[in-house]
Structure 1
Amino acid sequence: MVEEGAQRLSRNPVAAVDCGTNTIKLLVGDLPDVAVREMRMVRLGEGVDRTGRLGEEALARAFAAIEEYAAILAEHDVSRLRFCATSATRDAVNAQEFSDGVYARLGVRPEVLSGEEEAALAFAGAVRNLAASPDAPVLVVDIGGGSTELILGDTAPSAAASMDIGSVRLHERHLRSDPPTADEVAACVADIDAALDACPVSPADAATVVGIAGTVTTVAAGVLDLPAYERTAIDQQVLAVEAVHATVSRLVAMPVSERLALPYMHPGRADVIDAGALILSRVLRRTSVPTLVVSESDILDGIAWSLV
């Protein structure tokens, strides 16, 4: 998707790339104005939980997307580029192969973020976007393909933690049937709960919960029953937590074919949305808040703002 007609920027544009387990995203903008916002579903972390390596097919998909991004960057006079990589490349033994491929195509090497760095950038991107000042403390929930970040704070993070639970990782580990069996769902929930039990950030401390990234925004589209995925219709929505739980239950019970038929569902997310949605639901179960705030701005925006 290209925003604002993809106009050529004339002042001091920056570019940010967020490379996660499931997606690679690009933002180009003279902030706060955004000219380009793109996403490719490449499943870079496919199989990493099992093998410890980035697969050859996954690397090929990622490099193809990065080559498309290189062409977009060439169309804009970008002053600075920051490429951040998250869970999949933290875990892979052949991460250098990925780093070399990025450098060959973009002229920069990816920064492999620590969990703490990832959390701080996600919080900055999410909270800066909010139109209304939220009640503090604010809990930002960032569910990725390989990890989930919980970040608690006011204007800046005061506590943050990264857990090795994500939509791709837990789907591959537990939800092998289509649709998942009750035993598979129970095993997935137990894994999520164990991670939350060990997490130093308690969702119970939150006065406001802000959800970001594709799992949350897709669940939000389901709650809203949108006829198509529409970023502007999802951003800043305040959803009843009980409606979120109900939508999660429906998505988990569906076979992949039914999820693919949902007009708001990205085909690259349909198979793993079950595990990601369960993570969201289990986090919300530990809060006392009645609503979930959804933000379409996330770590990608945080990366971009770090360059300003």
Structure 2
Amino acid sequence: MKNGERLAAVDLGSNSFRLEISIMHNGHLQRVEYLKETVRQGGGLDADSNLSEEAMERGWQCLARFGERLRDFRPSQVSALATQTLREARNRQAFLNKGQQLLGHPIEVISGQEEARLIYQGVTYLLPRNVQEQRLVIDIGGRSTEVIAGTGRVSLEAVSLPFGSVSWSQRFFAEGKLSAKCFAKAEVAANAIIEEHLGRFSLYPRDHVYGASGTMGAVAQALSQLGGEKQIITREGVERLKAMLIEAQHIDNLQFAGLRDDRKPVIGGGISILLALMNMFGMERMQISEGALRQGALLDLVQRDDHDAKRRDIRQNSVASLIQRFGYDRAQGERIASVGQAIWTALNPHGLWSDDDLQTLQWAGQLHEIGVSIAYERFHHHGAYILHYGDCPGFLPSERERLANLIVGHRGKLKKVAAAIEQDASFAYQLMCLRLAVLLCNARKDPQLQALQWALQKDGSVAVSVSRDWTLSHPQSYYLLQEEASTWEKMPIHLSISVD
């Protein structure tokens, strides 16, 4: 990543949409622009978990404005992430289709676990570098709440809880009412959900607790106006705020300084969740952090571009973890990755396809047999299932989908991945390289690659030339190669074989 290069993160939260633009300056991210709009999309989910037209329109209008600002950004410079509301929305694809056009960049709906990882990464990036400090990070969003524990900048335990300031305000503080009874019900309900996960965090001290994002910032600001320490939240202070809200009885009567008008409709839910967390986790105080999901997303962009230090890419660690947990024949996985790379390189002498495409192909090679850990029968389907639903920190949903399609498509008929082949030429070539690598390594030995010559034809087809001696000494591989050529006959790209 070069000095002065711009990067942008778009956070499609349940309450607000945010755009942060930073530049790389001497190896560090420096904010140059920050835009925030209160969209309150989470409030637009109906009883059937469908976004209303009004909620979608508010989101689209915001994304159109963000899109104008990002018009000259390359795809590799932008990370646009959606969280709980779009995770829940049954009609999210309708919103995403138009939203991506308006923004001019893909939007990824990330899992709760991935959201938690990015939040911790963003929060700790802006904290003093202390590799031994045990930290607890809490982020109360609009429809989900993340609790993450870690040491230094490494997250070790994380959970995404299914409640937030918007959803809890809708459920327990209907029509803006702020009674003691409303708070009691909201806190009891939150306690019941939190209690299930308390044991996971029992080993982590509460000495260094950090709060992130909107609710935490609003509470800290209000407490500061009441004479509290800046950027500090105490349990005593939150109890005092709760008493003031109950005394007001309704959000329309809230007059105290430090609470913005756009925060009033969701303050009841936010305060009740915060109190439940502090009581259940035994926290007396926490410090507000400037970091959040956006900074975590920006850091991921930096790591992905750092070709000289791929070990920093969290995705590499995820692949290693999957291999450790589900690996069947690691040597074969490395062999397939290497042969696939050799074929890909031969077909790509002018660098038409990206390094990231090659990296994905190599990962698919390493992981192609992980499904054997479940059962050999249909193991490619089992492997795809692991990629779809397993824990893969760092991978965007679209990247997981691509890897899963490569794994499920590496053997058998192509009908199951025909749509992906037709829609994405680079995927088609990745899959062909992977299938050819598996074919050539069918004896679980290194193939004689020098006996095969690969070429990408002008019409996009792949041609392989083999020596006659090779066909005689490798009759099984030659037969499989001919069968593979037949398999691709009905696809947009073809495979042809000639014998010299």
Normalised to the residue count of structure 1, the TM-score between the two structures is 0.86
User: Residue 13 of structure 1 contacts residue 77 of structure 1 at CA under 8 Å; is this kept in 2?
Assistant: no
Q: Which moved more, 1:134-143 or 1:37-46?
A: 134-143
User: Residue 204 of structure 1 contacts residue 288 of structure 1 at CA under 8 Å; is this kept in 2?
Assistant: no
Task: Pick one of 174, 179, 182 that aligns with 1:181.
Answer: 179
User: Residue 165 of structure 1 contacts residue 195 of structure 1 at CA under 8 Å; is this kept in 2?
Assistant: no
**1:127 is aligned to 2:120:** no
Q: Which has the higher contact order (CA 8 A, sep 6+)?
A: 1
**1:48 is aligned to 2:41:** no
The 2-side partners of 1:34 and 1:115 are apart by: 26
SS in 2 for 1:104: helix
Question: What is the 5 A alignment of 1:37-116?
Answer: 37-48=34-45, 50-74=47-71, 80-116=77-113
C-alpha displacement of 1:248: 3.7
> Which protein is richer in helix relative to its size?
2
Cα deviations by residue, 1:32-60 (Å, 9 ceiling, x for unpaired): 21111111100111142633011110111
The 1-side partners of 2:137 and 2:177 are apart by: 29
C-alpha displacement of 1:79: 5.5
The 2-side partners of 1:251 and 1:135 are apart by: 39
User: Residue 21 of structure 1 contacts residue 144 of structure 1 at CA under 8 Å; is this kept in 2?
Assistant: yes
The 1-side partners of 2:20 and 2:96 are apart by: 20
Residue in 1 that maps onto 2:148: 151
SS in 1 for 2:177: coil
C-alpha displacement of 1:106: 2.1
Distance 1:212 1:106, change over 3 A: same
Letter in 2 for 1:102: G
Residue in 2 that maps onto 1:246: 240
User: Residue 138 of structure 1 contacts residue 208 of structure 1 at CA under 8 Å; is this kept in 2?
Assistant: yes
Letter in 2 for 1:183: K
C-alpha displacement of 1:287: 3.4
User: Residue 203 of structure 1 contacts residue 286 of structure 1 at CA under 8 Å; is this kept in 2?
Assistant: no
Q: Which moved more, 1:247-256 or 1:89-98?
A: 247-256
C-alpha displacement of 1:179: 3.0
The 1-side partners of 2:177 and 2:19 are apart by: 32
Normalised to the residue count of structure 2, the TM-score between the two structures is 0.54
User: Residue 174 of structure 1 contacts residue 188 of structure 1 at CA under 8 Å; is this kept in 2?
Assistant: yes
Letter in 2 for 1:278: S
The 1-side partners of 2:246 and 2:297 are apart by: 32
Letter in 2 for 1:264: G
Residue in 1 that maps onto 2:356: none
User: Residue 176 of structure 2 contacts residue 252 of structure 2 at CA under 8 Å; is this kept in 1?
Assistant: no
Q: Which moved more, 1:176-185 or 1:277-286?
A: 176-185
Q: How many residue pairs end up in the alignment? A: 292
The 2-side partners of 1:173 and 1:54 are apart by: 17
Question: What is the 5 A alignment of 1:1-308?
Answer: 11-31=4-24, 32-48=29-45, 50-74=47-71, 80-131=77-128, 133=130, 136-154=133-151, 155-199=153-197, 201-202=200-201, 205=204, 206-225=206-225, 237-251=231-245, 253-254=247-248, 255-259=250-254, 261-308=255-302
C-alpha displacement of 1:129: 1.1
Structure with larger Rg = 2
Q: Over aligned residues, Cα RMSD in angstroms?
A: 2.6
The 2-side partners of 1:213 and 1:135 are apart by: 24
User: What stretches of structure 2 of length at least 5 have no aligned partner?
Assistant: 303-500
Letter in 2 for 1:194: A
The 2-side partners of 1:17 and 1:74 are apart by: 13
User: Residue 49 of structure 1 contacts residue 169 of structure 1 at CA under 8 Å; is this kept in 2?
Assistant: no
Distance 1:187 1:49, change over 3 A: farther
User: Residue 119 of structure 1 contacts residue 150 of structure 1 at CA under 8 Å; is this kept in 2?
Assistant: yes
Distance 1:186 1:225, change over 3 A: same
